[in-house]
Amino acid sequence: MEIELFSSQFFVALFSIIVLDLVLAGDNAVVIAMASNRLPAQLRTRAIYVGTAGAVLVRLIMTFFAVEMLTVPYLQAIGGLVLLPIAVKLMRPSKEAHVKAADTFAGAVKTIIVADAAMGLDNVLAIAGASQGHFLLVVIGLIISIPIVVGGSQLIARLMDRYPVLIVIGAAILGWTAGTMIAHDHSVGPMILNILPNAGTLLPAACAGLVCAIGGRNRSA
């Protein structure tokens, strides 16, 4: 489905991308802080900025290819199905991220870039789905959210621990995105819409509710 530039749908999708960026970047933010922990203060700041810039570039390249691949028949629906367990996993009690702190500037930068790329696959898939084929949305979302992640790498993790509702909101948006991807797949979407004309809204809502129900049960277990 095409989104008109700067329409209400455009800003709703942009809001979803920013929220997903921030929620899914929790572990990545901790990685940034841990990787540069052993460096002197002046080098630590430089390592965070340079490492994050490299990580953003790698993330943009990965997301660009993901957006293009989602136009292939059935891949968008498969991507949506893959996102569902990721959304449920997001609501599980978090585990401490373990990253070896680097002793050199170059080592810290390398650790930040490599760790972010390895841990950011869920983020790439989620953002590619939420953008609905608009790479400009991805770029704007990153421009807004990355400075927040860098500036408050520890604060983000603390906020999500203190206010669990932020995790629930992020997981619900991820579930909604998964349902949207399935409903708007070029091959699967028309078949679903023939059976259920309102599937464009009902399926995302059902996926969001399912994620919250299963994730909430796992969280309380």
* 176-192: pLDDT as tens digits: 988 988 988 888 989 99
Question: pTM for this one?
Answer: 0.64
Residue 44 pLDDT: 79
Condensed to tens digits (0 to 9), the pLDDT of residues 108-157 reads 888 778 777 766 666 777 788 777 778 888 888 777 777 666 666 556 65
What does the alpha-carbon distance between residue 85 and residue 73 come to, in Å, rounded to a whole number? 22
What are the structure tokens assigned to 96, written together? 């401490």
Percentage with pLDDT > 90 across the chain: 7
* Mean per-residue pLDDT of the chain: 78
3-state secondary structure (DSSP) of residue 136:
helix
Q: Would you place residue 12 in the very low, low, confident or very high pLDDT band (cuts 50, 70, 90)?
A: confident
Q: What is the dihedral of CA 11, 137, 150, 153, to 10 degrees?
A: 60
Q: What is the pLDDT of residue 43?
A: 82
Domain boundary assignment for the chain: 8-220
